[in-house]
Amino acid sequence: MTPGLFETVSQFPWYGWLAVASGLGLVGYTIAHLSGRWHGFAIAGCLLLAAPTSWFTYRNVSIERRMTEVARRFTGDPTVWVNCAGMFDELPHLGKAGWAQVVDPGTGAEAHLKAEQCDALRSWLGGSPSSAASFDEMLALHVYVHEIVHLSGVLDEAQTDCTAMQRTAEVARLFGGSDAWRTAGAALAARYFAEVYPRMPDAYRSTECRPGGRLDRTPADGRFP
């Protein structure tokens, strides 16, 4: 379920291709330089371009691959992809935390997170499960789970948000690989339910999203989310 090299490269952002081009330029000019021609300025220029674009591409690709792998295990669909949006991608979706383009399952549906949410998720995953999460990290994790619930084929917003809260612990476990992460995820879901959920727009809420309600996935256990 881990995205392959070809698939990863095909998802490169524009600066990823700039990194590739300047890297090729660097190789070409260095070969020309070593064979006796002076290409010092061209080498320096390519290096100046290649270094930051490669770094940002690496950052982008590593979190996208990690989010995609977890989304594939969560949905059981090996064709989904989770993307960190660039600024131009975000323009038609201003004001939204994230969005998913859900086509039919199995056809490469994509979920999109804003760049700042990818940063917050990266920062949360880079810490330890026992360290206190920021509000932004809590929200980023929730938005991520919300979008991959969409990728699993649920389209209704209220049902999606309610399911997301109840599956956050499981997703945190998939990311971190231990029960300490599951516990940390459960705590963040409880925080979202207490602090954010009551303020969500009507379309995202349901009176059935409560302990023992119709949207409670485990109505008998007395625990929620």
Interacting stretch for Zn ion, rule CB under 5 A, among 43-51, 107-115, 154-162, 210-218? Answer: 154-162
Cβ at position 214, least distance to Zn ion in Å? 19
Structure tokens at 89: 């991608």
By CB under 5 A, the residues from 18 to 57 that bind Zn ion are none
Choose among 28, 18, 86: nearest CA to 52.
18
Residues 6+ apart with CB under 8 A from 148: 70, 71, 74, 75, 80, 82, 111, 171
Helices 157-176 and 179-195, packing angle to 10 deg = 150
Cβ at position 179, least distance to Zn ion in Å? 28
Cβ at position 100, least distance to Zn ion in Å? 7
Phi, psi for residue 190 in degrees, rounded to 5: -65, -40
In angstroms, rounded to a whole number, what is the distance separating the alpha carbons of residues 118 and 66? 11
Q: Which is nearer to Zn ion, 39 or 142 (CB)?
A: 142
Q: Which is nearer to Zn ion, 99 or 175 (CB)?
A: 99
Beta pairing, strands 98-101 & 110-113: antiparallel
Cβ at position 17, least distance to Zn ion in Å? 30
**Judged by CB under 5 A, how many residues of this single chain contact Zn ion?**
1
Q: Which is nearer to Zn ion, 69 or 157 (CB)?
A: 157
In angstroms, rounded to a whole number, what is the distance separating the alpha carbons of residues 47 and 19? 10
Interacting stretch for Zn ion, rule CB under 5 A, among 13-21, 74-82, 151-159, 216-224? Answer: 151-159
Cβ at position 164, least distance to Zn ion in Å? 9
Residues near Zn ion, by CB under 5 A: 157
